[in-house]
Amino acid sequence: MADQNELMELAKRRGFFFGSNGAYGGTAGFYTFGPEGASLKHNVEAAWRDQFTIRLGNDEIEAPTIMPEAVFEASGHLDGFDDMLVECAECGASHRADHLIEEALEEIEDAEALGIERVGELIEEHDLACPACGASLAGEPVEDFNLMFETSIGPGSGDPGYMRPETAQGIFVEFPRLKEYARGQLPFGVTQIGPAYRNEISPRRGIIRVREFTQAELEQFIDPEEDEPPLEEVEDVEVTLYPVTEQDADDGEYLETTIGEAVETAVIGSPWVAYYLGIAQQWYERVGVDMDRFRFRQHLSGERAHYADDCWDAESEIGGNWIEIAGFAYRGCYDLTKHAEYSGDRFTVFKRYDEPVTVETATVDPDMSALGPKFGGAAAEVAEALQERAKTDPEAFESDEVTLEIDGESYTVETEVANFAVEEQTESGEHITPHVVEPSFGVGRTVYTLLEHGYTEDELDDETRTYLSLAPEVAPTNVAVFPLVSNDDELLEVATDIAGSLRSAGISVSYDDSGSIGRRYRRQDEVGTPFCVTVDHEGLEGDAEPTVTLRERDSARQIRLPVAAVSEQLETLLAGERTFEELSEQYGDVETDLTTA
């Protein structure tokens, strides 16, 4: 397991990530991805796009990161997107109250689920102190703090807007147009990868909890009555689950099962959520997460989002703690219904029946010449209430009068004035509001997980070696090319030609002729480069076909292969079509003094 300080030092030294705005003293909660980190992050995003957009047949959009206030009023973020804040009366420092509880009391893993009142009581019961100055926080109020960054849209005071706290709303708001691109056919999915912003009370642990981060989200729109996921594709996928029942039990344990069994036994209530847990399990294995330090944990009722019928988190173990790296929620029709209510636009899909059906429809055609004189300014509201009553309670019109309640006032209308009738209509379909299933991935947290899980130390030639065991698909650089020495024109020319041919083949290459060959191997090991090609004198001697050595990172084993075969063999290795072991069997390992010297 990597020491967190060592990992953070390596990340900064080798250009993975570092605190932003250092020249101005730094800004908490903001990180810059350096050359290696940006490449790793982009490769993770590309792998996610390949799986969740391309292979699943979904569409991708890119929405603005700033949206008007009305969007977040409809979504509920204005009222409910809060964290628990406690301020120190002595030094004025602000802290996440639930995090203080979790750090002080080992038996509590998720204090957020306890609620504000109980968290305040625990702070007082255990006389928790301010981490900044040591003053007691007992008796200090615990309050909700909205995490959204507010801004203005337009000159002057402008119109109020917010930087999006999630990418999802950019998809939901555009649903009326997106459904047209899907030709109104359910199910369909829309993905988006991009930044989101949360004004965290106490950002911490490097890029794990920050104020600007990247999300990769899929919103799957389904007909809840008809659409079923292709569970057969993932039913045999083995997963480690931590359901609510086990979390609540005194001796609760993980459940080692398959996706199919978890659905059959109702451990996972939604087949759609289960399907995406299976897809995610396979994807995390693919990009190199240590699956012995990975689990899916079901949300407790107190921590479940207001819109979610059920929710599971993908969690990775980092430094002895479990962190959320993705969430899987069945959001129902909450989002589309709310945006329809607030915007007045249509967030439904027309579902055509197999055959037209004839239905009886209760209607009214109020006589406004009678309602107007009787009810004055309330006549329009009375007419609207009559129409709604006809839909919900047509039997009310069987008597001579209908009594309506509007804003606490009673209005009585003669039935003949309402012009009530029951008509037969032929309908070819109906408008339905789709339900939404959402897998949401934290890209930065996935990057950190890969670095932490890949961080390895071993002994090589009686020296301690540090390397990152990153999957070739996501490693910042695919291969490094070295001339053994930098003052030999023939070696330089061959190495430069090899690097150029590999780049032409679409392979990411680092060319390095600086320092001893051992130091160059060390540099590449520390940034996770899976393969190194070294051009040496031995491979160019005589009239035989020129050869080079190919070194594999994790084992530090080397083989010697023809220069003409380098590009082709590396392409097969990087694509997973062949293993280094298979190449070793073909070409044979070689012992050289190039391992560390």
Buried b (16+ CB within 10 A) or exposed e, 72-91: bebbebbeebebbbbbbeee
Look at residues 412, 432, 452 and tell me which one is the last residue of a structural domain. 432
pLDDT of residue 306: 63
The residue-averaged pLDDT of 129-151 equals 90
The residue-averaged pLDDT of 453-465 equals 90
Residue 495 belongs to a domain: yes
Residue 310 belongs to a domain: yes
SS3 annotation, 144-198: EEECCCEEEECCCCCEEEEECCCCHHHHHHCHHHHHHHCCCCCCEEEEEEEEEEC
The residue-averaged pLDDT of 455-473 equals 92
Q: pLDDT digit string (tens) for 378-394?
A: 999 999 999 889 888 98
Half-sphere exposure of 557 (CA within 13 A, CB side): 12
* Same domain (yes/no): 322, 370: no
Q: How far, in whole angstroms, is CA 320 from its chain's centroid?
A: 22
Does the structure show a pLDDT above 80 at 151?
A: yes
Distance in angstroms (rounded) separating the CA atoms of residues 396 and 419: 13
CB 529 within 8 A of CB 477: yes
Neighbouring residues of 365: CB distance < 8 A, sequence distance ≥ 6: 418, 419, 421
DSSP state of 243: -
19 burial level (CB within 10 Å; 0-12, 13-18, 19+): middle
* Same domain (yes/no): 250, 170: yes
Domain that holds residue 426: 354-432
Distance in angstroms (rounded) separating the CA atoms of residues 109 and 247: 10
The residue-averaged pLDDT of 457-481 equals 93
* Same domain (yes/no): 50, 169: yes
| 497, containing H or E segment | helix 489-504
Residue 456 belongs to a domain: no
- Identify the residue whose tokens are 């292979």: 55
Neighbouring residues of 495: CB distance < 8 A, sequence distance ≥ 6: 481, 482, 483, 511, 513, 533, 535
Residue 577 belongs to a domain: yes
Distance in angstroms (rounded) separating the CA atoms of residues 126 and 476: 46
| 465, containing H or E segment | strand 463-468
Buried b (16+ CB within 10 A) or exposed e, 465-491: bebbbbbbbbbbbbbbbbbbeeebeeb
Q: What's the total number of domains in the chain? A: 3
pLDDT of residue 299: 93
DSSP letters of 532-571? EEEE-HHHHSSSSPPEEEEEETTT--EEEEEGGGHHHHHH
pLDDT of residue 592: 66
Element counts in the chain: helices (H) and strands (E): 21, 28
Does the structure show a pLDDT above 50 at 459?
A: yes
Residue 130 belongs to a domain: no
* Same domain (yes/no): 41, 162: yes
Does the structure show a pLDDT above 90 at 106?
A: no
* Same domain (yes/no): 399, 506: no
Beta pairing partners, 136: 129
**Which of 235, 319, 242 has the alpha carbon at shortest distance from 279?**
235
Evaluate the omega torsion of the peptide bond into residue 229 and state whether it is cis, within 30 degrees of 0: no
Looking at this protein, which amino acid is placed at residue 413?
V
The residue-averaged pLDDT of 523-537 equals 96
Q: Tell me the pLDDT band of 407, cut-offs 50, 70 and 90.
A: confident
Q: How far, in whole angstroms, is CA 92 from its chain's centroid?
A: 33
Give the C-alpha distances (Å, rounded to integers) separating 310 from 83, 136, 305, 327, 436: 21, 38, 9, 11, 12
* Same domain (yes/no): 57, 174: yes
CATH number for the domain spanning 412: value is 3.30.720
300 burial level (CB within 10 Å; 0-12, 13-18, 19+): middle
Q: Which range, of 9-23, 252-266, 308-322, averages the lowest pLDDT?
A: 308-322
* Same domain (yes/no): 280, 193: yes
pLDDT of residue 3: 79
The residue-averaged pLDDT of 414-436 equals 88
* Same domain (yes/no): 164, 226: yes
The residue-averaged pLDDT of 469-491 equals 95
Residue 400 belongs to a domain: yes
pLDDT of residue 188: 98
CB 16 within 8 A of CB 40: yes
Residue 290 belongs to a domain: yes
Q: pLDDT digit string (tens) for 196-229?
A: 999 988 887 889 999 999 999 999 999 999 999 9
Does the structure show a pLDDT above 90 at 324?
A: yes
Which structure tokens are listed for 102? 């979790």
Q: Tell me the pLDDT band of 522, cut-offs 50, 70 and 90.
A: very high
CB 119 within 8 A of CB 111: yes
Neighbouring residues of 422: CB distance < 8 A, sequence distance ≥ 6: 360, 361, 362, 363, 394
* Same domain (yes/no): 379, 326: no
**Which of 441, 434, 258 has the alpha carbon at shortest distance from 335?**
434
- Identify the residue whose tokens are 């992050």: 41
320 burial level (CB within 10 Å; 0-12, 13-18, 19+): exposed
pLDDT of residue 595: 46
DSSP state of 202: S
Does the structure show a pLDDT above 70 at 285?
A: yes
CB 176 within 8 A of CB 350: no
Buried b (16+ CB within 10 A) or exposed e, 33-44: bbebbebbbebb
Q: Which range, of 191-195, 230-234, 576-580, averages the lowest pLDDT?
A: 576-580
Most confident of 43-52, 362-371, 540-549: 43-52
* pLDDT, the chain, mean: 92
* Same domain (yes/no): 278, 233: yes
Q: Tell me the pLDDT band of 524, cut-offs 50, 70 and 90.
A: very high
Taking only Cα atoms into account, the Rg of the chain, rounded to an integer number of angstroms, comes to 31
Q: What's the CA dihedral at 442, 444, 445, 449 to 10 degrees?
A: 130
Does the structure show a pLDDT above 60 at 596?
A: no
Q: What's the CA dihedral at 314, 317, 319, 321 to 10 degrees?
A: 70
CATH number for the domain spanning 157: value is 3.30.930.10
Look at residues 432, 450, 467 and tell me which one is the last residue of a structural domain. 432
The residue-averaged pLDDT of 34-38 equals 97
Buried b (16+ CB within 10 A) or exposed e, 338-366: bbbeeeeeebbbebeeeeeeeeeebebeb
Coil, helix or strand at residue 267: coil
Output phi, psi for 474, to 5 deg. Answer: -110, -10
Look at residues 442, 461, 495 and tell me which one is the last residue of a structural domain. 442
pLDDT of residue 5: 87
The residue-averaged pLDDT of 535-562 equals 92
pLDDT of residue 340: 95
Residue 467 belongs to a domain: no
Which structure tokens are listed for 110? 């998720």
* Same domain (yes/no): 277, 415: no
* Same domain (yes/no): 418, 536: no
Length of the chain measured in residues: 597
The residue-averaged pLDDT of 168-185 equals 96
